[in-house]
Amino acid sequence: MDIDTFERSGIREEQKFPFLGKDRRDANRRHPGDKDYDPKTLYLPPHFLKNLTGGQKIFPSIQQCLLRYAAGYVVYSVNISPF
């Protein structure tokens, strides 16, 4: 894909999801210029959440569980020593 395709894709995404572009805010609705802005969180507007499908709504909780168990597995597997 050429650069123009990526730029057009980015523009479409920003039009479709304005809360990911220049209107981005953290979970506490702070703008990136705010001193207490948390870049690890993202504010999702209520109209966006209302339009999610069932699978899209449950995915974050499934992902969190999988990451928690995977982290435990990695720690467990590193600590196993042969005989």
On the question of pLDDT at 35 being above 90, the answer is yes
13-29 pLDDT per residue, tens: 777 788 888 888 998 99
Which phi and psi (to 5°) does residue 18 adopt?
-60, -20
- Looking at residue 72, its pLDDT comes to 63
pTM for the structure as a whole: 0.53
CB 43 within 8 A of CB 26: yes
Q: How would residue 73 be classed by pLDDT, with cut points 50, 70 and 90?
A: low
Q: How would residue 78 be classed by pLDDT, with cut points 50, 70 and 90?
A: low
Span 50-63, average pLDDT: 81
Average pLDDT, rounded, for the chain: 76
The two tokens of residue 77 are 């597997």
Report the length, in residues, of the chain: 83
